[in-house]
C-alpha cells in the first residue's frame, strides 16, 4: 500500500485489535498508525507490538474516551500532529469503537435522558465528528486518496429485542456514512458488518440480554461454534479494501463475501 495514515478507533481489543495487526503488515514505507481506545494497558501493549513488528511504521497510541468532547479533541490533535510530521498519500480511517448499551433493559425502560445521550455521544456523534476532523485535516490533494470504514452490523438493518440503543446507533451510523459518500464523492466509504464475532461484546450479549429468547440465540451461536474469529473477519475487510471495487457508501456483510 502507499504511505498511509491509518486511524483505528476501539483498537485495544477484539475486532479493532485484530484489524490493526493485519493493517500494520500492509502499510508501505512512510506510513503511520494512530490507535485510539479507552483502555490504556492493552492499547499500549498493541502499539509496542506493532512497533517491534519489523516494519518502519510510526505508531502512536492515544487513550481517549470518544464519548466526550475532550476525548475527540485529543484524538484530533494527535491526528493533526502526525500529519505535520509527514504527509502520506492515503488516509484510512476505521470507525470501529462502539458499545452495546444496557441490553438488560427493554425499550420502555430507557427513560434516562443522560444515559441515552451518553450512549449516542460515544456511538454516533464521535464517529461523525472524528471523521469530519480527519477528512478536513488530511484535505484534498492531487494523487491522494481518503477511505472511511464504518464497522457496522446486521443490527443496522434488523431490529433485535432489548437492543434499542445498539440497533438505532448502528442504523444511524450506516445512514450517516451513506450521506458522507454522497457529500464527498472523492472519499471511499464502506459500511462493513463483520458478523457475530467471538468477543467480550458477544459474552455480554449471551449473558446480559434481558430477553430470554435473544439470550438463548447468542448462547447457541457460542455453543455451536458459529461465532467468527476476529482475525478471519478482519482479513475479509482488508481484502475488500485491497480490491477496492465496493460502491461507496455500500453496506457489505461478512456472509456476503
pLDDT value at position 56? 79
Give mean pLDDT, residues 148-173.
Answer: 98
**pLDDT of 54 strictly over 70:** no
For residues 256 and 186, give the distance between their C-alpha atoms in angstroms, rounded to a whole number: 25
pLDDT value at position 55? 66
| Torsion angle defined by CA atoms of residues 244, 248, 253 and 257, in that order, rounded to the nearest 10 degrees | -30
Residues 6+ away with beta carbon under 8 Å from 190? 147, 148, 149, 150, 240, 241, 246, 248, 249, 250, 252
pTM given for the model: 0.97
In CATH terms, the fold of domain 4-196+229-253 is: Rossmann fold (3.40.50)
Average per-residue pLDDT for the chain: 97
pLDDT value at position 53? 81
- Residue 105 burial (10 A CB sphere; 0-12, 13-18, 19+): middle
The helix (run of H) or strand (run of E) holding residue 7 is strand 4-9
For the chain, the structural domain boundaries read 4-196+229-253
Percent of the chain whose predicted confidence (pLDDT) is above 90: 97
Amino acid at each position: 500500500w502507499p504511505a498511509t495514515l491509518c486511524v483505528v478507533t476501539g483498537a485495544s481489543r477484539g475486532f479493532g485489535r485484530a484489524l490493526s495487526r493485519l493493517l500494520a503488515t500492509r502499510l508501505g514505507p512512510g506510513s503511520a498508525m494512530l490507535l485510539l481506545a479507552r483502555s490504556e494497558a492493552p492499547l499500549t501493549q498493541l502499539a509496542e507490538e506493532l512497533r517491534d513488528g519489523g516494519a518502519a511504521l510510526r505508531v502512536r497510541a492515544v487513550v481517549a474516551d470518544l464519548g466526550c468532547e475532550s476525548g475527540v479533541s485529543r484524538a484530533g490533535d494527535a491526528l493533526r500532529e502526525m500529519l505535520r510530521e509527514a504527509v502520506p498519500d492515503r488516509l484510512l480511517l476505521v470507525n470501529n469503537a462502539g458499545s452495546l448499551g444496557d441490553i438488560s433493559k427493554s425499550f420502555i425502560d430507557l427513560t434516562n435522558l443522560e444515559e441515552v445521550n451518553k450512549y449516542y455521544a460515544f456511538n454516533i456523534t464521535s464517529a461523525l465528528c472524528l471523521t469530519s476532523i480527519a477528512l478536513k485535516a488530511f484535505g484534498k490533494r492531487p494523487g491522494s486518496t481518503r477511505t472511511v470504514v464504518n464497522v457496522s452490523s446486521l443490527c443496522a438493518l434488523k431490529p433485535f429485542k432489548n437492543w434499542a440503543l445498539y440497533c438505532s446507533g448502528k442504523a444511524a451510523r450506516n445512514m450517516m456514512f451513506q450521506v458522507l459518500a454522497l457529500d464527498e464523492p472523492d472519499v471511499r466509504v464502506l459500511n462493513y458488518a463483520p458478523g457475530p464475532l467471538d468477543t467480550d461484546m458477544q459474552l455480554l450479549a449471551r449473558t446480559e440480554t434481558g430477553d430470554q429468547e435473544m439470550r438463548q440465540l447468542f448462547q447457541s451461536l457460542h455453543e455451536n461454534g458459529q461465532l467468527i474469529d476476529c482475525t478471519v473477519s478482519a482479513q475479509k475487510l482488508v481484502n475488500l479494501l485491497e480490491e477496492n471495487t465496493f460502491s461507496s457508501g455500500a453496506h457489505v456483510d461478512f456472509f456476503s463475501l
